[in-house]
Each structure stands twice: as structure tokens, then as C-alpha cells.
Amino acid sequence: MKPEIAIIRIKNLRLRTYIGIKEDEINNKQDVTINAEIHYCAAKARNSDNMQDALNYRTITKKIIALVENNRFSLLEHLTDQVLSIASDHEWVDFASVEIDKPHALRFADSVSMQLCYQKA
């Protein structure tokens, strides 16, 4: 890894949304836990100490919160793809990974999760 590559990690962002296809999932919000990793070249930010030269993780997180809390999703795959789209939207992003956990989705498991990745071509 090049030293100028920065990795932003958003850990355990806990939100509530409508997710699923069963009647109780359609009618009741459920908890989801989001983890995202975003890689970008931070050489300019490291040398300037200027916010304009950095990727703003607060802005990214606010967009994720708005998406998740204000929409309905049938599939975990679709929700994960939409969050990944936000995480990888900025032109500086070289790589992004998003994993979303749906706690208690299976009777004998802590959670079910979906992970998707983006890699700049």
C-alpha cells in the first residue's frame, strides 16, 4: 500500500429501516449495522491540513443515514449496493467495501450480512 492512501472506516453504524419480504418485515423497522471501508489518496490532505483536501466522512455518513432511514428495501443485496454507491461516489475513492448486518435474521445466528466491494477500474 502506498503511504498516501488513507483508509476511512465507518464502524458499526446502527440504523433502523424496513428490510425484508415477510409481512412483519414490511410493516416494522428492523435494526441493521453498517460497516464501510473507503480508500482514497490523501497526499494533499496530509500536507495541507485543509478540510477541502480530505474526503469528508461525516458527509458520507449523513447520506447513508438518510438513504437507510427514509427508504424500504426487500433485499439486503439492494440495500448494500445502494450504500456502496454512496461510499464510492467521490472521484477520489479507489476502493470501497460495505458490509451490512441484519441481526436476528436467522433463528440460530447472531446475524446475516452482505458485503459488496467497489474497485476503480
List pLDDT tens digits, range 95-108.
999 999 999 999 99
Owning domain of residue 41: 5-119
- Please name the helix (run of DSSP H) or strand (run of DSSP E) that holds residue 5, with its range, or none: strand 5-19
Beta-carbon contacts of 89 under 8 Å, excluding residues fewer than 6 positions away, are none
Q: Tell me the pTM.
A: 0.93
- CATH code, 108: 3.30.1130.10
Counted domains in the chain: 1
End-to-end CA gap in the chain: 17
Q: What is the pLDDT of residues 26-64, one digit of tens each?
A: 999 999 999 999 999 998 888 898 999 999 999 999 999
